[in-house]
Chain A
Amino acid sequence: MPPLGPPPPLSPVLLAGFLVRPLPPILLQPVLDLAMMAIRRRHPGLFERFSDIQNPLLVIDPVDLPLVFRLDADPLSPRLSAVRDAGDLSASATIRGPLLTLMELLEGRIDGDGLFFSRELSIEGDTEVVVALRNAIDSVEIDIIGDVLSLLGPLAGPSRNAVGVAQGLFDRAARDLQSLRAAVIAPALSQGEFQAARLRDLEDKVDAAARRPARRPAQKGGRR
């Protein structure tokens, strides 16, 4: 059990709901860093599977979110980040699909090829990178919530900010289960623009906190 109290009642649906909120991408960074750290710690062999791939830079595009994820799957310093759109990213490949589908895929609970056959999932660009990603995440049993929670206990000082931010966001998400669930289905995304100005303000405030985890020693010396 994590020592920071009982785990919030998170489920992939809830996390999806949390993500689907029209948050500025920068707010997600601490959570994404945490998730990556958790995955790397629990599944050290995962990114090794990219060692033969040149420039393993992927865009993961949940079609029902107003943002995309950028995964730099460099075996030595993998990094996941969220951006508004993929326009200026020189990704080698893009994977597109509904967020929940992508989450299920991440956790190996659904057959990626079957989704591709049924056209629920589409891919573009360097197919080799996509196949490597699929095989890599499928090679381990990722349980994204469990993996993240497993980190909350033994974390050292520098990561507490990330944990704090993440925990805060999780807690907020947990308080609001119903509306989040609705958000998955409803076009709450369209409110994104409306809320953008207010959120930009918030974005500035957490900017500092959000950047700190990105400079953790574990991630130093990797990418330019």
Chain B
Amino acid sequence: MSAPLELVCPAGTPAALRAAVNAGADSVYLGFRDETNARNFPGLNFSRSELAEGIRFAHDHGARVLVAINTFPEAGNSGPWHRAVDSAADLGADAVILADIGLMDYAQRVHPQLRRHLSVQAAASNPEAIRFYHQAFGIKRVVLPRVLTVAEITALNAQVPVETEIFVFGGLCVMAEGRCQLSSYATGVSPNKDGACSPASHVRYVDHGGKMISKLGDYTINTFAEGEPAGYPTLCKGRFSTCGRVSYLFEEPTSLNVLHLLPELAKAGVRALKIEGRQRGRAYVAKVVAAFRLAVDAAARGEPVPETALGALAEGGRQTTGVYEKVWR
């Protein structure tokens, strides 16, 4: 018997927030409806009043709200990012999730009492980097980049003075997050600056006699035969040709799912488990959160983890344990 790991769940909309809380989320993470967060998608995210209401709802139900302000402020235009931190503090958010050093400095100076987490976008992949963020900016928790195996996470946790949070389900970047300019190179829209990777504004799906062609900007990212499970046209999940051979060079359309690794992850010393998917609907949120709630509680009681079939929610209908197992590299 041990304390259950904290389940950190995505909310792209107020309805998703309620769905996450009702399904058993310990914390919900979300962002404002602008470029200050890394899911700046059309129609998504929270206004100030929606956040206020969301925080009230979450707190009434014993859940926390973490506000992601995890893009990199534009030089000469830090206003929107500073205001986002101010609003999170004023509205009573339980923490902000930050990636930019300058913004961490601002948050620490202006709102010292506001708890600060380090976003995965900061790509702190080793103890030295994590100690830096902790010592310089009072970071209390680090969301680990998706580059470490379970063994490496275990070793890391023994050396750092902060909580760690890791991704357990959903879309996965195969590149080190916050250090990827692929989308920016192809579309001019930058995950780091604009908060969108492979933005919908540049995506086109073309039906070609039952075959679906997905394009990003000027580039064909994939073609799916009739009935073949599809994925998002993110550059790193596309089919490319190298040495005359067409393949998923970087990664297949797939979703991370390490439900069955939860007992191991608990032993690795992580504090919180993160479900990806602020851009997904509330049906996804409800289902995934419920499955992980059951699993986390069972693992805490030392019982076998109940498996829930989540394949239908996975990109390309495929699931992977990703980098947590070394062979992935």
Residues of A within 8 A of B (CB): 45, 49-50, 52-53, 105, 108-114, 116-119, 122-136, 138-141
Partner of B206, one of A109, A124, A135, A136: A124
- Is B102 in the interface zone, CB < 8 Å from A? no
**8 closest pairs, A vs B, by CB?**
A135-B43, A139-B13, A132-B43, A132-B42, A49-B43, A127-B203, A128-B200, A131-B200
Distance from B224 Cβ to chain A, minimum over Cβ atoms (Å): 7
- Is B59 in the interface zone, CB < 8 Å from A? no
- Is B306 in the interface zone, CB < 8 Å from A? no
The answer to whether A138 touches B282, judged by C-beta atoms less than 8 angstroms apart, is yes
The answer to whether A117 touches B282, judged by C-beta atoms less than 8 angstroms apart, is no
* Max chain A Cβ within 10 angstroms of own Cβ: one of B42, B199, B212, B228: B42
Residue of B with least CB distance to A47: B43
List residues of chain A with CB within 8 A of the CB of B12.
135, 138-139
* Max chain A Cβ within 10 angstroms of own Cβ: one of B231, B280, B283, B316: B283
The answer to whether B199 touches A128, judged by C-beta atoms less than 8 angstroms apart, is yes
10 residue pairs A–B, Cβ–Cβ below 8 Å: A50-B43, A111-B287, A111-B313, A112-B281, A113-B279, A116-B230, A117-B230, A119-B212, A139-B14, A139-B43
The answer to whether B41 touches A119, judged by C-beta atoms less than 8 angstroms apart, is no
List residues of chain B with CB within 8 A of the CB of A141.
15, 18
The answer to whether A53 touches B42, judged by C-beta atoms less than 8 angstroms apart, is yes
- Is B250 in the interface zone, CB < 8 Å from A? no
Residues of B within 8 A of A (CB): 12-16, 18, 41-44, 47, 50, 199-201, 203-207, 212, 224, 226-231, 253, 279-284, 287, 312-317
Query: DSSP class of B's interface residues: helix, strand, loop or mixed?
Result: mixed
How far apart sit A110 and B284, CA to CA, in the bound complex (Å)? Answer: 7
Distance from B59 Cβ to chain A, minimum over Cβ atoms (Å): 20
List residues of chain B with CB within 8 A of the CB of A128.
42, 199-201, 203
Query: Given known contacts A52-B42, A118-B229, A135-B42, is B13 in contact with A124 (CB within 8 Å)?
Result: no
* Max chain A Cβ within 10 angstroms of own Cβ: one of B50, B230, B316: B230
How far apart sit A179 and B16, CA to CA, in the bound complex (Å)? Answer: 36
The answer to whether A111 touches B200, judged by C-beta atoms less than 8 angstroms apart, is no
The answer to whether A108 touches B281, judged by C-beta atoms less than 8 angstroms apart, is yes
List residues of chain A with CB within 8 A of the CB of B317.
117-118
Query: Given known contacts A114-B313, A132-B43, A139-B43, is B15 in contact with A108 (CB within 8 Å)?
Result: yes
Distance from A39 Cβ to chain B, minimum over Cβ atoms (Å): 13
Residue of B with least CB distance to A142: B15
Distance from B209 Cβ to chain A, minimum over Cβ atoms (Å): 13
List residues of chain B with CB within 8 A of the CB of A122.
205, 207, 212
How far apart sit A122 and B229, CA to CA, in the bound complex (Å)? Answer: 12
Residue of B with least CB distance to A104: B283
Query: Given known contacts A118-B312, A124-B207, is B199 in contact with A111 (CB within 8 Å)?
Result: no
The answer to whether B43 touches A131, judged by C-beta atoms less than 8 angstroms apart, is yes
Distance from A94 Cβ to chain B, minimum over Cβ atoms (Å): 10
Residue of B with least CB distance to A116: B230
Distance from B45 Cβ to chain A, minimum over Cβ atoms (Å): 8
Distance from A141 Cβ to chain B, minimum over Cβ atoms (Å): 5
The answer to whether B42 touches A123, judged by C-beta atoms less than 8 angstroms apart, is no
The answer to whether A119 touches B229, judged by C-beta atoms less than 8 angstroms apart, is yes
The answer to whether B282 touches A119, judged by C-beta atoms less than 8 angstroms apart, is no
* Max chain A Cβ within 10 angstroms of own Cβ: one of B43, B224, B229, B312: B43
How far apart sit A127 and B200, CA to CA, in the bound complex (Å)? Answer: 5
* A52-B42, A108-B15, A119-B229 known, 7 other contacts, Cβ within 8 Å: A111-B283, A113-B313, A114-B312, A119-B226, A122-B212, A135-B44, A139-B14
Distance from B168 Cβ to chain A, minimum over Cβ atoms (Å): 18
Partner of B224, one of A119, A133, A138: A119
Distance from B208 Cβ to chain A, minimum over Cβ atoms (Å): 11
* Max chain B Cβ within 10 angstroms of own Cβ: one of A52, A108, A133, A138: A138
List residues of chain B with CB within 8 A of the CB of A139.
12-16, 43
The answer to whether B205 touches A127, judged by C-beta atoms less than 8 angstroms apart, is yes
How far apart sit A109 and B280, CA to CA, in the bound complex (Å)? Answer: 12
The answer to whether A140 touches B15, judged by C-beta atoms less than 8 angstroms apart, is yes
